Structure 1
Amino acid sequence: MFIEPMLLATAPGPFSHSNYIFEPKVDGHRLIYSQQAGAIRLYTRHNNDCSRQYPELLLPFDDDIILDGEVACVDPATGISDFEAVMTRFQAKKADKIDRLRRALPVTFVIFDILQYKGRDLRELPLTERKAILSSLTLPGTSFGVVPYIEGAGEELFEQVRAWGMEGMVGKRKNSQYVSRRSDAWQKVINWSYAEVFITGYRKEEFGWLTAVLDGSGKLRPTGIIEHGPGPKEKKAFYGVSQGIVSGEDKNFVYLDPLIRGKVKFRNWTKSGMLRTPVFMDFIA
């Protein structure tokens, strides 16, 4: 049984409040764990069944249950979630590859909410009561964990998150019920990184600006595509300038001389040197 998950609003910045609990944000992908009449199914937030990708999570609890959390690959050297590793697991479809990756890149289901248990719908209970029920569970194996939280001290937790290089923090109202939509009762604060980039082209069809940075030898190295951030004013200014610095084009892109620079925020650098989820902030004069 799938339940559409509760989604996060975005807080303007780190905050503390006595009516909130605060959790580190796990850098994986959302997972709904459903055990009904002993049958276990795993679902993404978009109701895609991903049970076969994570065989180590197909272990039963003591009764029927529906749980919400994140599936993550944790780097044993740092204790930090590796998003690219969990995406490798998620994208594996063939049984032999899944079995091989299960040993090389084991996942953990990090649980932060309980929605049903022993036939009872718990979603209208306050979050603190759901957390108490969750903490009383016996987990079925070492591939399961419960996300820790603290009360009130969000800014203190966020400083630790930054020091550890984690993805961010989530603040949740203690009395919040579980609703299947985006809600201000749950708010995320992302631990952004920042960079200055050259904008070296743009996509012809849907919006996208190509980015690059200077490598150690002073040459431009591509770093991905900006798809979010600029408003109508910035887009108009960009396209006004770009028409005079076109250096070439192909089927999908128009390429520019590297004369436009901008500041972006992004989640992290990927292992291949790309910006993960870059968001345009401003032009650099």
Structure 2
Amino acid sequence: MAASKTAARPGSLKKYREKRDFAQTPEPSGRKERSPKSRERLRFVVQMHRATRLHYDFRLEADGVLASWAVPKGPTLVPLDRRLAMHVEDHPMNYRDFEGNIPAGQYGAGSVIVWDRGTYSLVEGDDPATEIAHGKIKFVMYGKKLHGEFTLVKIKAREGEHGEPWLLLKDRDEHADPKYDPADHPESVKSGKTLADIARNPRAPTWQSKKLAKSASRARRSPARRDPIPRPKNLMLATLVDEPFDDPEWLFEIKWDGYRALCTIEDSQLALVSRNGLDMLVRFPELRELRSAFASLPVVVDGEIVSLDAKGRSAFQRLQESQKKPAGLTYAAFDLLYADGADMRSKPLEERKALLERLIRDTDLVLYSKHVVGKGEALFEEAHDQRLEGIIGKRRSSTYQERRSRDWVKIKTGHEQEFVVGGWTEPKGSREGFGALLLGVYEKRGLRFVGSVGTGFNAKLLREFSSRLRRLERKTSPFVNPVVARAPVHWSSPELVVEVRFSEWTRDGYLRQPAYLGLRPDKPAKDVVAEVPVHVEP
């Protein structure tokens, strides 16, 4: 199909209102809103809609309304997979909150859920309405399910075809996923419900006016109206970048050097779980007192278990020692996923952090992770001077995404990262246990050998680690490339993860001057890849 260059400019709700009887449908009548400045994040929503046929309504903020397309097969993360998108009437901005049932006999009758929502920014141009009118819009999505660069392009209709056909394409980038199917993710990002759940409750549309929503957020929600407590399978992770930067749209925090853990307190029951599902209360029973550290329950908080010195600095090696000497053991809280009956993940980061700070009681057990706005370079210099691991930059408007995102970035003061242990060498001379650990990172082909580490171990660590290794011993190499070693080699199943400091990567992709820092039982081995910094444009 050839591209068609022109389309109607978004900005009118006339057709939307003509098609609906607002005395019969729970849909909002809405009004055109004032357009934000072009440099600001624009909003989007994708609604799953079971009408005559199941389809997905794809809506982008443009000129104070939601420019809308019906996508029969739904959006995808499969690169360059062309999805038909039929351009339909503009919808009001408050339609992005609509979730419920449109009665029989009304336009679009059926069930609707908020399948995804978030913000987007333009790749080309500075006004989305103008780009749409020209028949093509390229944009980057920052949703809970959809991420990365997409293109919508108008095409010529086939002979006899009614309507205005477009194509929705996922562009090639780090967010592309050739196995992605929207049908595998049927839940609402707003309520956690499916279309079937909504259909079973035909009298209860979940849309409410902005005024009512604000009123409800001020008061404590009744149990019947509370959002379900989120139980994320993954935590939001930061992308490594090459240098610090200043930007008023970003806030910056110290990078904590500890165990990442999600804290959930419900009915006075506390769960403190690592990224790979370990119960951290078994390792640090002192943290059971967290159940009384927050002013409102239930609550879900993201943070890091750290061991602080007298100057308030965290170090991973001290944390390992604190399993028997828990002095300075603290939970550094930096994000809020749920509070006061509300799922906070779709709220801007600054709003989540402000509420988190108010919820933390006066206790030495929880430390609120403070931040500075815009001044990343100065904070990085301070972190470097204090010999801290680095800093984290976070986009102030970012939603909480259960994946690695460029809305969060990390800038390290040195080279430290996790590696998978795939074997060991025999010790030489009077050394006991093992000579060195064989290290690897995962790539597309499998586990790639990147070097060995033999420094950083005392006699006790050598004995303890040797015992772990022998339980995992196997006959074949887990690495996809040859292993270069100066002593006889033993192979192990790639399950153990260690943290290592090193001076640099060689041109051939091997570690130079590595030193062992500690065992990382909280990190899944399959997630360990070579952390190569990218450049970010502030």
TM superposition shift of 1:13: 1.2
Counterpart residue number, 1:249: 488
Counterparts of 2:371 and 2:405, CA distance in 1? 19
Query: What's the counterpart of residue 262 of structure 2?
Result: 32
Q: Which structure has the larger Rg over C-alpha atoms?
A: 2
> 1:206: Cα distance to partner?
6.2
Q: Which residue of 2 aligns with 1:80?
A: 313
Against the structure 1 CA distance between its residues 19 and 53, is the aligned structure 2 distance closer, same or farther, given a 3 Å change threshold?
same
Query: Which string of whole-angstrom CA distances, capped at 9 and with x for unpartnered residues, describes residues 22-61 of structure 1?
Result: 0010111101111011211111122222223333322322
Q: Which amino acid aligns with 1:188?
A: K
Say if 1:276 and 1:122 are closer, same or farther in 2 by CA, change over 3 A.
Answer: same
Residue-by-residue CA offset, 1:165-200 (whole Å, 9 max, x unaligned): 001000000100001111100000011159xxxxx9
Q: Structure 1 141/163 Cα, relative in aligned 2: closer, same or farther at 3 Å?
A: same
The aligned residue for residue 147 of structure 1 is 369
Distance 2:286 2:516 in 1: 31
Q: How does 1:127-276 map to 2 (within 5 A)?
A: 127-139=349-361, 141-192=363-414, 203=438, 207-210=449-452, 248-251=487-490, 264-265=503-504, 274-276=515-517
* 1:68 maps to which of 285, 288, 302: 302
Q: CA deviation at 1:247?
A: 5.8
Counterpart of 1:44 (choices 266, 274, 279) is 274
Residues of 2 paired with 1:56 and 1:145: CA distance? 15
Q: For the Cα contact (< 8 Å) 1:2–1:32, is it kept in 2?
A: no
Q: What is the aligned partner in structure 2 of residue 222 from structure 1?
A: none
Pair 206,21 (structure 1): closer, same or farther in 2 beyond 3 Å: closer
Q: Kindly tell me the number of residue pairs found equivalent between the two proteins.
A: 221
Higher relative contact order, structure no. (Cα contacts within 8 Å, ≥ 6 residues apart): 1
Change (3 A) 1:106 1:80: closer
Question: Match for residue 257 of structure 1?
Answer: none
**TM-score by structure 1 length?**
0.67
CA deviations 1:104-153 (Å, max 9, x no partner) are x3410011011101221001000111111112124262111101100001
What TM-score results when the alignment is normalised by the length of structure 2? 0.37
Structure 2: distance between partners of 1:27 and 1:191 = 12
Contact 1:265 1:280 in 2 (8 A): no
The residue number in structure 1 matching 2:124 is none
Alpha-carbon distance change, 178 to 84 in structure 1, aligned in 2, over 3 angstroms? same
Give the corresponding residue for 2:471. none
SS at match of 2:351: helix
Instruction: Note the residue ranges of structure 1 that are not aligned, 5 or more in a row.
Output: 93-99, 195-199, 214-234, 253-262, 267-272
C-alpha RMSD over aligned residues: 3.4
- 2:454 and 2:273 mapped to 1: Cα distance? 36
Whole-angstrom distance in 1 between the partners of 2:531 and 2:339: 43
Q: Deviations 1:63-102 (Å, cap 9, x if unpaired)? A: 21000111100122x432121222344xx5xxxxxxx533
Amino acid at match of 1:82: A
